[in-house]
Amino acid sequence: MERPSRQRQREQESETETEADELIACPECESTDIVTDADQGELVCDDCGLVLDERQIDRGPEWRAFNHSERQSKSRVGAPITETMHDRGLTTTIDWKDKDAYGRSLSSEKRSQMHRLRKWQERIRTKDAGERNLQFALSEIDRMASALGVPRSVREVASVIYRRALNEDLIRGRSIEGVATSALYAACRQEGIPRSLDEVAEVSRVPQKEIGRTYRYISQELGLELKPVDPKQFVPRFASALGLSEEVQAKATEIIDVSAEQGLLSGKSPTGFAAAAIYAASLLCNEKKTQREVADVAQVTEVTIRNRYQEQIEAMGFR
């Protein structure tokens, strides 16, 4: 066992070497603007052109690729670990193409053998009921995320939230679909993706009231720090669906900012507030849309738009 002082001395030496590598200076012109020429394997001063080092080790792949398909075909590593699969994507998957390594079709005997292998592979991927339930929940998250059109990062965050709820035993007494939907809604809010509870409930198989109740429970138990939804996040999507210009979007954002400064946003639905701002902005910019058109896109009632519209117009100083 080494003494602590010797170990500390070695750590200091390695830190000194690292700092020295980072602060390389040209011995000719004393410039620190050093660039690496990956093609030639050289370290070159960008000011005077002096070659400081040559025959550097290339730590990249030995093959070259000029597009995504070439890179995919030449790469010899598997897909990265993902939380959206119950086994994190680490198990073997048998392809359904029924072709060998050379692209030739398999014989009927080999096809039946591969069919049996696939069937048993699917069975042994989930060893117990808990893993089967996790697989079902993650597939539900993936289905709903696809229907909502949210990016891959939201699916990963939703899967992590669901796994945390599972480890904390928060699913007991609640439906798997309800917790999965709540995890997806929480992930949308955490990643700043504007999706309302009504939109999430549309693609889910559970009632909206259950989603809201489960969401509040898991966010409180897991300590999720979720900020209130900003109505401005809904403006670009609603305006695009209505075919409105960027001028209307800018005006709607301004209306929301002025109204929020006067405290009108507190306790109001963000989708209704954004819809009313878009309606008011369309009138001010001479791109009139009816309250019914805006309400259909925002999935709110015309009464909500009228009420919020009156408040926002007064806040802006118009009568």
Alpha helices in the chain (DSSP H): 4-22, 68-74, 108-124, 129-148, 152-167, 176-190, 197-203, 208-222, 235-242, 246-261, 270-284, 291-298, 302-316
Token pair listed for 109: 């005997």
Binding residues: 26, 29, 45, 48
Residue type at position 292: R
Token pair listed for 261: 């400064």
Binding residues for Zn(2+): 26, 29, 45, 48
Residue tagged 């259909």 (tokens)? 296
In angstroms, the Cα distances linking 49 to 20, 35, 100, 132 are 21, 10, 53, 62
Q: Which residues, in sequence order, are bridge partners of residue 45?
A: 34
